[in-house]
Amino acid sequence: MQKEKLIPGVTKLYVRIPVNRIGVLIGEEGKVKKELEKRTQTKILVNSNDGTVVIEPETPYVPPINLLKAKEVVRAIGLGFNPEKAFKLLEDDYVLIVIDLKQYVGDSPNHLTRIKGRIIGEKGKARRTLEEMTGTYISVYDTYVAIIGDYESATVAREAIEMLVQGRQHSTVYRYLDKMVYGLKKRRMLSLWRDKNI
């Protein structure tokens, strides 16, 4: 019996990443790129001159979701994550959320530096606290803040970062996170309990 083709013709996805992140995407002796291709059944072509990355299916039978996942991993590496963290996006419940700081504070380098400083904190303390409280990974790169985590946790982390961007005090944001994360855990425990008792 012939397999049903999932992709009519050949679908390609394009994504552009900073040229200085190409080395990270390719990895030592091409390890990272090969691993991503293997796990998503894709072919990844990288243009080292302008940072364009083309993602194609290995065969016509590769599910389109694989290409989308490969694209998200490439985007995450382009946004400053190391490959190990970016590969989390291959798991079903992980998402990548990207905040463009320029949408909040405009193009002024001074404003951007100040806001990034608030999110990162002294010696990276604020960012680490946000990551630990929400169970997410956070990268502050160029004019972007990127978050990797399960959908609910990543959404909570984004709300906390937006509060910092709007000038709320760190203590206020941490209190908010405490409340939100507690609520999340409670809901998850409850649904686990329900599943067991059905």
Residue 74, pLDDT score: 98
Q: Which domains does the chain have, with CATH numbers?
A: 13-81 (3.30.1370.10), 94-191 (3.30.1370.10)
* Alpha helices, DSSP H, located in the chain: 22-26, 31-40, 64-78, 83-86, 102-105, 109-120, 125-134, 151-165, 170-197
Pairwise pLDDT comparison (24 vs 189), residue with the higher score: 24
Q: What pLDDT, on a 0 to 100 scale, did the predictor assign at position 185?
A: 83
pLDDT tens digits, 102-139: 999 898 999 999 999 999 999 999 999 999 999 999 99
Kindly report the average pLDDT of the chain as a whole number: 92
Q: What is the pLDDT of residue 184?
A: 83
pLDDT of residue 119: 97
Residue 15 CB partners (closer than 8 Å, separation 6+): 52, 53, 55, 71, 74, 75, 78
Q: 21 is written with which tokens? A: 């992140």
Average pLDDT over residues 75-84: 98
At residue 96, does pLDDT exceed 90?
Answer: yes
- Counting residues of the chain whose pLDDT is more than 90, the rounded percentage is 83
Exposed e or buried b for every residue in 119-138, given b needs 16+ CB within 10 A? bbeeeeebbebbbebbbbbb
pLDDT at 190: 83
Across the range 14-38, mean pLDDT stands at 97
> What's the CA gap between 133 and 126, in Å, rounded?
11
d(CA 48, CA 17): 10
To which residue do tokens 């790129």 refer? Answer: 33
Q: How far is CA 51 from CA 14, 77, 83, 149, 154, in A?
A: 10, 12, 17, 25, 27
What tens digit of pLDDT does each residue of 143-166 get?
999 999 999 999 999 999 999 999
Mean pLDDT of 8-23: 88
